Structure 1
């Protein structure tokens, strides 16, 4: 597939859709946090945890504090989290983020890439956790259990992810 300036203008998520070499797979996906827009450079060259969940999901409400603790206790180890909401309305997403989420990035409600990521990462149930590299390739599909079960030290889990990027 050829890349041109026209395709970049016409397809805002062209890095994801065309697989431009060297571009972070989230380069053209809007990302927010409590501090406003998220600079994609802060996510580059680090393992990225995609966390799929929703405020209406009971299992998510039980898992969110666990992944939140994992993140807060280890965020300086060189990884990031992006929350991919499955909430049914923008207001629900914002309410759940403000109430339950650490200050990690999220994809705003209604962003078309949310559905693309659900399909690409075969998310059938939530909560779901996929650890990916800058190209969006899954490097750990079992991260939820690692976080939930505490079988390994978090620093060891993150070190393993770093080896895989």
Structure 2
């Protein structure tokens, strides 16, 4: 073998060994990073030696992440969280607790037991994001709240106050968008969208803001809650696809919504004990008789709990279409799926399964069907 080739091979082997060493070092560093949890050092005046402390959140379940006791006036809590979540630090079963948006960071606490809400929390990326939100928005919300109280009391000019309130709310909306844009990777961002969701009357606002989040934020604890709340809010909305369901008729036969695909079907939520439902039934009967030969039918979902009462009402009111019920009263599973809070309610589903109208009552039901199916 020529000397030049041999030298080149030795040089390449040396580079390979160096690369292997770097990979091993990187792997070790990543493993060390993965194994790193949180460390919470604290000194709360008034928490005496021997006091039992924990990092916990009863709603999350699974028990405390860490426990310790106060010693020499201080404490140290160490553990690990799978992701940034809301936790409390204190004694379980009491109201002596400190809120922290906890991630796997080093955190220091200091304060007094009589003012735990004012405890200083240093460190923690997630909690710093949470604190930034609270510090900026609490005064803004307080201002709008005070303006609303003034308007309700009648001690100011209603029109000018309303204009001012709307102006401040618009400003808050802009600040929320700015916050989310700057914190799109933070687990706190979906939390902010959730707690400020009711400010806007636009139901699509949550979705628009959710779409701006980075994947880690979308898949975080509050990101999943936010995604579910958006999905729940879309259930039953005009333009959305009606969720598939199955429920038994009076003979025990399973009836599915998809079995009506290809037809317009009115999902009619009612019950024999519901006075307004019984008053509305003649209008539904009229619609059924008028349009049953025009690719239209009705599917009744009863919130009854007494089968005899349910079937007697079906016979008395001449409801000659498919009827289903699980006889679970307000816990009817289909009603729960559609988030039904009151009856009568109905949804008009088109042949593709899309909801095209809802809560059609009296003449409006006939007019809507005439517009869609013709007279």
TM-score bracket for the superposition, by shorter chain length: 0.5 to 0.7
Could you tell me how far apart the structure 1 residues matched to 2:339 and 2:268 are? 13
Q: Is 1:149 the counterpart of 2:364 in the alignment? A: yes
Q: Is 1:30 the counterpart of 2:245 in the alignment? A: no
Match of 2:189 in 1: none
Distance 1:32 1:133, change over 3 A: farther
Q: Is 1:129 the counterpart of 2:352 in the alignment? A: no
Q: Is 1:69 the counterpart of 2:286 in the alignment? A: yes
Match of 2:264 in 1: 47
Q: Quick one: which of 329, 332, 336 aligns to 1:115? A: 332
Give the length in aligned residue pairs.
130
Could you tell me how far apart the structure 1 residues matched to 2:294 and 2:354 are? 21
The structure with more helix, counted as a fraction of residues: 2
Task: Specify every segment of 5 or more residues in structure 2 that has no aligned partner in the other structure, as ranges.
Answer: 1-242
Runs of 4 or more, structure 1, over 4 Å off, are 36-42, 133-137
Larger radius of gyration: 2
CA shift at 1:64, angstroms?
A: 0.3
Distance 1:128 1:101, change over 3 A: farther
C-alpha RMSD of the superposition: 3.3
Could you tell me how far apart the structure 1 residues matched to 2:319 and 2:254 are? 14
Contact 2:303/2:328, CA 8 A, preserved across alignment = no
Structure 2 length-normalised TM: 0.30
Q: Which has the higher contact order (CA 8 A, sep 6+)?
A: 1
CA shift at 1:94, angstroms?
A: 0.8
Q: Is 1:59 the counterpart of 2:276 in the alignment? A: yes
